[in-house]
Homo-oligomer: A and B are copies of this chain.
């Protein structure tokens, strides 16, 4: 990606961390190494003890940045959605045609992730693997309502609202824009998961097909809405 823009930060709700990991070298290493550990062995096998060792530090130091590993995951997923939002804006901002704008947005959402130089210590490809393998774990918990109230999912909600608005700009009367976007965001990760583990349950073993599939779904739905027999 562009090496024009550096020193940008994705802003994360401070309630998610105890001490901002972006504020120190140690904190950045927690994020950086944490991503690699979770991407390769899965979130369930990830512990702060192992992370402490890995960064040449200590369990207790990690606990000074994050209350628990669940919040660590919420931090990572929030960062991911924030980054996706940033790329979405960057890539669609200059487009005036509503249809073309939505088309480009769907490309950004569904195409495979590439490394972004603007965020040195974060391996976006590995982070995307985490999203594919753990996508629902941040919110499928008994505490989801409290955490939602505390604003931990704001970025995700903003992202959906943004794409939803693009849909409304194509077809103001379409009544399912939020459902369509939430279905596609989750569905896209899910199709990647299926391609990796259950190839017989998807026709999108090539990312090109995934993008085509979701675009066909979205535009056919918009183009025929209100015109059914």
Contact = CB atoms under 8 A, between A and B. Distances in A.
Interface in A89-103: none
A66 to B, nearest CB: 19
Nearest to A45: B142
Given A45-B142, A178-B201, 11 more contacts: A136-B140, A144-B197, A157-B200, A161-B200, A176-B209, A179-B191, A179-B210, A179-B213, A187-B187, A216-B224, A216-B228
Contact of A41 (B142, B182, B220): B142
Contacts of A153: 198
Contacts of A141: 42, 44
Copies of this chain in the oligomer:
2
A42 B140 CA distance: 9
A115 interface: no
Contact of A178 (B42, B161, B200, B216): B200
Interface of A: 41-42, 44-45, 133-137, 139-142, 144-145, 148, 153, 157, 160-161, 175-180, 182-183, 186-187, 190-191, 193-194, 197-198, 200-204, 209-210, 213, 216-217, 219-221, 223-225, 228
A139 B179 CA distance: 24
Pairs of residues from A and B, 5 with the lowest C-beta to C-beta distance, nearest first:
A220-B224, A42-B142, A136-B136, A183-B187, A220-B220
Contacts of A201: 157, 160, 178-179, 182
Q: Is the interface of A mostly helix, strand, loop or mixed?
A: helix
Contacts of A139: 193, 197
Nearest to A216: B221
Contacts of A148: 197-198
Listed residue (A145, A198, A204) with the most chain B CB atoms within 10 angstroms of its CB: A198
Nearest to A229: B223
